[in-house]
Amino acid sequence: MQAKLKVSRFDPETMGQGQRRWDEFELDVHPSATVLDALIQIREEVDGTLSLRCACRASICGSCGMRVNGDAKLVCKTRIVDTFKDGETIVVEPMGNQAIIKDLVVSLDPFFDKVRQVDPYLQPDAEPDQGEFVASNDSMVNLLTAMNCIMCGACVSDCTVLEVDEAFIGPAALAKAWRFVEDPRDDQRDERLKELNDVEGGIWDCTRCFKCVEVCPKDVAPMDRIMEMRDMAIEAGNTNTPGYRHTESFNKSVKKHGRLDEARLAVESAGYTNVPRLIDLAEIGIRSTLKGKMPPIVPHKADDKEKITRIFERVESERK
Amino acid sequence: MKFAFYPGCVARGAGPELFDSAVAVMDRLGIEWVELTGAACTGAGVLQEKDQKLGDILNIRTLAMAEQLGLPVLTICSTCQGVMSQADRRVRRDADYLEEINSYLAEEGLSYSGNTTVKHLLWVLVEDIGVETLQKTFVKELSGVNLAPFYGCYIVRPSDALGFDEHPERQTSLETVIEAVGGTVVDFPGKTACCGFPILLINQRNSLRMVANHTGTASELGADAMVTPCPLCHLNLDGYQPKARRQNNRGKADLPIIHLPQLLGLVMGIDTKTLGLGKHLVNTRDIVRKVDSIPVG
Amino acid sequence: MYKHDVLIIGAGLAGLRAAVEATRLGLDVAVISKVHPVRSHSNAAQGGINAPLTDRGDDWEGHALDTIKGSDYLADQDAVEIMSSEAGDAVIELERMGVIFSRGEDGRLGTRRFGGQLVARTFFVGAITGSAILHVLYEQALKHGLNTYEEWFVTDLIVEDGRCVGVVALDVKTGELHSIWAKAVIMAAGGAGRVFEPSTNAIICTGDGLALAWRAGVPMMDMEMVQYHPTTLARTGILLSEAARGEGAHLLNSEGERFMLRYAPQYEELASRDVVSRAEQTEINEGRGIEGNVLLDLRHLGREFIEDRLGYLQEVSVEFLGIDLAEQPVPVRPGVHYIMGGIKTDVDGATIVPGLYAAGECANVSVHGANRLGANSLLDTVVFGRRSAVHAADYIKSVDAGSGSDEHLNETKSRIQSLLDRAPNENWAAVRNFMANEMTKGIGVFRDQRSMEGAKAAIDNVDERINKISVQNKGKVFNTDLIFTLEMEFMADVGKAVVHSALARKESRGAHFRTDITERDDENWLKHTLAYQDADN
């Protein structure tokens, strides 16, 4: 089978930061070859100067995260025949949001700094006198979701928040944090949640864009883990955030009107005492009004709003 | 072609120009519709943070209402599309869960059995109407007009909820429509990224950086306008573009953000007032003038 | 200049376990690894870790006996006794560090059965046990603020006055060479599967540790004992854990027969690995294979069970072969997986060179003898990783640091420069692929004098070519071309030791099965082979 690859090259010894070169390769590969097989073939047979990381070839070591046709992937489990149209050029680049060291190799220092930031180790108050901690199998299977993470960096590569804000703890480290928050053997749950709630770049900065869910090669679904921690943080009493107020206001609006009340959502998320933010909102509001598109002061309501309210009430009463 | 129409909260609230333009365009396309006025907000993923099941009940309720009418759901909001598709996928994968969800709907005499679908207008254009038929409704061709697509997250991810396996054409549907109207696609990496709207009220700085990046990059690449099927993206990319670009030194707010139906309306020759093109915060005058200068026919 | 009390080479389970222990003992410890710790090949261990837990009715003697039997009696019984009796504490300790072991109904650790044992005493995390433990040990390393040299490649050990006092290493990211001095060095650099092709091993498993110690004068012991795992995925050679059979999967030949019932009526599919691999190879050789494979059948286990307990196996079968284990049997064949042989150490990890310790797959204590039982490798790493650190901590009390001289560093610098200056000639990959294919042919599941001599001829050929390998990449930053060339030199050393050891052993035992001498010969060969660099055998 023929494969066409276009590979991003960067050599810090001869090129300036931010520059790159594209090299094209045409190869005869095995019909079930992966993108990694093709890259190894290039490295071994065509161009020994090509640098990339890889080790296990079996999607467990997490070394070979790269962008393939724009999306972060583990190239060892990206089979050419399944992923590309016949004859389509396979464009391979280093992962995003991480500094390039050479060719397809990026610096993982920021990645692991963020992991360190979440105190990623079990913190029990005391160990059992004898034997292991007793915990249900379900509670361990639950943690498997995040323990499947192989720290390949794919989610960090494509995270839309990290693109604009280096301080965001990011999907991988937050999934790691979730693993301890959810571990029944850990006794720092509330402290962890408070920290993740309060800290700059914490759980409320995720935009819920699903990028990390989409690119994760191990189904860790970091975004889902972050959303679960938002709810847990609220349950643990962390309610002084715009994020909390946003969620509450949204809920209240849908419960009451069946619909979203954008104007009130904005004001309530800011907080009624947050004067600078309210002035800012008023500015946008006035300009919108001048254009004839201010959200109605009397919110638009669903015809069935009473029925919708009843559903809310039933679910809420069952939750308690 | 008849649909149960679910416009979404923004089209019925802060973005009335979307509703008006969509209705005008659907009439031209011969799409019949009945609005699901009793349906609830999808929750937009926010409600789901707190209680996914509650969100699923509301969305399955909407689908059940359409099913009762024997109609597929039509939406004009990327976020609504995604959130409803995700709920639909969850109940389709798990019969016990569907039964549980249906138990909340029984009181209203509703029950969902998976016999309907939810489709964004964007997909209907490409799949049900088809480019050729679509083009027959056009009175002009936007040659020389550069248009940047901006999808909105939930109409592209999570891909396994969106039927891309059976409908791979959905992944490039917006480009297909831009080409169908005769425009030139301005491709840029941000087209499937987040617009920043979900955190606008939580971390405005980051939200506006996203707006500035996307609109700034598209402008630099020569886009005359950006087209989006998502009214939430529109709120941010249009409403906050001036502030975002000022704060992030990305030049003047010069990129009009056009709702998908507005784009179609322009080539169908629908007047700009009906399309609500005067209701945008980023002035649409230049793009409208450019379109006006193209002769009909 | 870098200086530590203890330097550990390798950041897999043995290395990290040693590091955690040495840190707890208050030493200045550093770990050096050519890959980031969480990329280490311990990740690939799937099925579990054995431990006879006495508080639930098991006893260490039972585990020891199974291990010794499985080793075809070549393992050292004192070493096995230590491993078996320390196993329970080792596993409990891992659990307390945070490993999310599978549980029973009572919330206590649950087990599955593994090969060569009639008792279920294998503790596990789905089919990612190695990865789950590695990540937890890395968490512990972060907790203790361990010093790490990540992506640093060790080129040489520094030996002064007969003592190992440090290493010379290449910082892969900058291309600079440095000396790192330490009063004791623990070699935990893993296996050498890449000496063979195909192999379940990662591309990084190039026997660096074995060769480095060998060059420092330590013998490699029982290197002919190369384990062929019975279930590696067709074509790709990816491991499919023994856990599949532990959970009840069957092996079928082309006639749909569960052939293991014939070969091992008591243990069936869970006979020890050498036995199962030979049975499979016999079926294939006698025409009852399917394109060089046999079938592993999990269908009767049911989808839910497969996905819950063997999720990773399902993932690789689907991703790499497009086979859904709940629907279809998957073709497998024996593949090189593990090397029982290694750097000869005592039960405290000490080698004959003072200051040099070894633990994990690169070491040979010997607890695996001629055939390792599944799920004993993880146990080996944590038990002897810890013991090495304890002994090293004691040892360094009475020794001084090395000289700090630049002599070794300069030697390495000029050696590498001359390598980079070579005129274009051989390519490392061509030499490696030739050697690895020939090694698998010659030192296979079945071997004889002729096949082994074929492998020796290949090694001799490699010997001639290796000094002609030229490095295409002349740059400094992340020059993997240079690294692979240095690894090729390590692999050639390991290959040489394997071939000579194999030719030396004139009997069949465990993984070393000669079709020309099919009997075990306890009278003459109940002993280890030792390969030294200087002597030719």
Enter the tokens of residue C185: 């060095």
Residue B40, pLDDT > 50, answer yes
The domain boundary residue, chosen from A179, A208, A235 = A235
Mutate which: C16, C55, C100, vs A, most A CBs within 10 A: C100
CB A169 within 8 A of CB A152: no
Chains that touch A (3 or more CB pairs under 8 A): B, C
* Residues A120, A102 share a domain: no
Q: What is the CATH number of the domain that holds A129?
A: 1.10.1060.10
Q: Which residue of A has its CA nearest to B106?
A: A311
- Tell me what pLDDT residue A274 has: 75
Verify cis geometry, omega within 30 degrees of 0, for the bond prior to C198: yes
Q: Which residue of B has its CA nearest to A206?
A: B199
Contact A231 B53 (CB under 8 A): no
* Residues A129, A97 share a domain: no
Q: Write the pLDDT tens digit of every residue in C406-455.
A: 999 999 999 999 999 999 999 999 999 999 999 999 999 999 999 999 99
Chain B residues touching residue A234 (CB < 8 angstroms): 50
* Residues A154, A101 share a domain: no
**Any chain A CB within 8 A of the CB of C476?**
yes
Q: Write the pLDDT tens digit of every residue in C318-355.
A: 988 899 999 999 999 999 999 999 999 999 999 999 99
* Residues A80, A135 share a domain: no
In chain C, CATH 1.20.58.100 sits at 407-531
Mutate which: A73, A84, A207, vs B, most B CBs within 10 A: A207
The domain boundary residue, chosen from A235, A270, A295 = A235
Residue C301, pLDDT > 70, answer yes
Q: Which residue of A has its CA nearest to B45?
A: A208
**Any chain A CB within 8 A of the CB of C90?**
no
CB C220 within 8 A of CB C226: no
Q: Write the pLDDT tens digit of every residue in A70-90.
A: 999 999 999 998 888 888 999
Residue B95, pLDDT > 60, answer yes
Convert A132-157 to b/e letters by CB count within 10 Å (16 or more is b): bbebebeebbbbbbbbbbbbbbbbbb
* ipTM for the predicted complex: 0.95
Min Cα distance A193 → chain C (Å) is: 19
Residue C256 backbone class (left: φ over 0; alpha: ψ -120 to 50; beta: rest) = left
Enter the tokens of residue C528: 């280890």
CA C244, C125, C111 angle in degrees (round to 5)? 70
The C-alpha atoms of residue A194 and residue A233 are separated, in whole angstroms, by: 7
* Residues A192, A102 share a domain: no
Is B207 or A270 the better-scoring residue by pLDDT? B207
CB C258 within 8 A of CB C252: yes
Lookup result for tokens 């489990």: A77
- Tell me what pLDDT residue A127 has: 94
Four-CA torsion B172, B36, A260, A161, nearest 10 degrees: -10
Chain A residues touching residue B37 (CB < 8 angstroms): 302-303
Lookup result for tokens 């060719």: A103
Number of Cβ pairs < 8 A linking chain A and chain B: 170
Chain A residues touching residue C477 (CB < 8 angstroms): 11-13, 51, 101-102
Chain A residues touching residue C41 (CB < 8 angstroms): 55-56, 61
Min Cα distance C113 → chain A (Å) is: 18
Distances (CA, A) of A123 to A186, A221, A225, A236, B96: 5, 24, 20, 18, 38
- Tell me what pLDDT residue C121 has: 96
Helices (H) and strands (E) in chain C, counts: 16, 18
Beta-strand pair A100-102/A89-93 = unpaired
Distances (CA, A) of A186 to A118, A121, A135, B138: 13, 9, 11, 64
- Tell me what pLDDT residue C537 has: 39
- Angle, helices C480-504/C407-421, rounded to nearest 10 degrees: 100
Residue A278 domain boundaries:
242-319
* Residues A178, A217 share a domain: yes
Is A270 or C259 the better-scoring residue by pLDDT? C259
Beta-strand pair C342-344/C363-364 = parallel
Q: How many folded domains does chain A comprise?
A: 3
Q: Write the pLDDT tens digit of every residue in C162-203.
A: 999 999 999 999 999 999 999 999 999 999 999 999 999 999
Distances (CA, A) of C3 to B95, C31, C168, C183, C410: 63, 12, 12, 9, 18
- Tell me what pLDDT residue C241 has: 94
**Among candidates A208, A295, A314 on the partner chain, residue whose Cβ is nearest the Cβ of B45:** A208
Enter the tokens of residue C400: 């001084």
- Residues of chain A scoring pLDDT < 50: none
> What domains appear along chain B, each with residue ranges and CATH number?
2-120 (1.20.1050.140), 131-292 (3.40.50.11810)
The C-alpha atoms of residue A115 and residue A121 are separated, in whole angstroms, by: 10
Topology of domain C407-531 in CATH is Methane Monooxygenase Hydroxylase; Chain G, domain 1 (1.20.58)
Of A160, A169, A156, A177, the C-alpha closest to A200 is: A169
Q: How many CB atoms lie within 10 A of CB A51?
A: 24
Judged by 3 or more CB pairs under 8 A, whether C touches B is no
Beta-strand pair B184-185/B146-149 = parallel
- Tell me what pLDDT residue A294 has: 60
Contact A120 C142 (CB under 8 A): yes
Chain C residues touching residue A43 (CB < 8 angstroms): 429, 480-481
Residues 247-276 of B with CB under 8 A from A: 276
CB C155 within 8 A of CB C169: yes
* Residues A132, A43 share a domain: no
* Residues A189, A251 share a domain: no
Residue C536, pLDDT > 60, answer no
Select the CATH number that applies to the domain covering C230-333 from these four: 3.90.700.10, 3.30.1490.20, 3.40.140.10, 3.30.413.10.
Answer: 3.90.700.10
Q: Which residue of C has its CA nearest to A47?
A: C472
Four-CA torsion B163, B169, B170, B173, nearest 10 degrees: -170
The domain boundary residue, chosen from A199, A220, A235 = A235
Write a three-state SS string for chain B. Answer: CEEEEECCCCCCCCCHHHHHHHHHHHHHHCCEEEECCCCCCCCCCHHHHHCHHHHHHHHHHHHHHHHHHCCCEEECCHHHHHHHHHHHHHHHHCHHHHHHHHHHHHHHCCCCCCCCCEEEHHHHHHHHHCHHHHHHCCCCCCCCCEEEECCCHHHCCCHHHCCCCCCHHHHHHHHHHHHHCCCEECCCHHHHCCCCHHHCCCCHHHHHHHHHHHHHHHHHCCCCEEEECCHHHHHHHHHCHHHHHHHCCCCCCCCCEEEHHHHHHHHHCCCHHHHCHHHCCCCCHHHHHHHHCCCCC
Contact A304 B39 (CB under 8 A): yes
Chain C residues touching residue A124 (CB < 8 angstroms): 96
Lookup result for tokens 């279809």: C328
Q: How far apart are the first and last CA of chain C?
A: 38
Q: Write the pLDDT tens digit of every residue in C479-533.
A: 999 999 999 999 999 999 999 999 999 999 999 999 999 999 999 999 999 999 9
Please give the average per-residue pLDDT across C267-292, as a whole number: 96
Q: What is the CATH number of the domain that holds A99?
A: 3.10.20.30
Contact C473 A12 (CB under 8 A): no
Q: Which residues of C are catalytic?
A: 273
* Residues A20, A123 share a domain: no
**Among candidates A161, A214, A291 on the partner chain, residue whose Cβ is nearest the Cβ of B159:** A214
The C-alpha atoms of residue C293 and residue B141 are separated, in whole angstroms, by: 61
Four-CA torsion A274, A280, A286, A292, nearest 10 degrees: -100
pLDDT > 70 fraction of chain C, expressed in percent and rounded: 99
* Residues A78, A56 share a domain: yes
pTM confidence score? 0.96
- Tell me what pLDDT residue C96 has: 98
The C-alpha atoms of residue C34 and residue C38 are separated, in whole angstroms, by: 11
Bridge partners for A105 per DSSP: A102
Min Cα distance B35 → chain A (Å) is: 11
* Residues A231, A114 share a domain: yes
Show Cβ contacts of residue A237 under 8 Å, excluding neighbours closer than 6 positions.
none
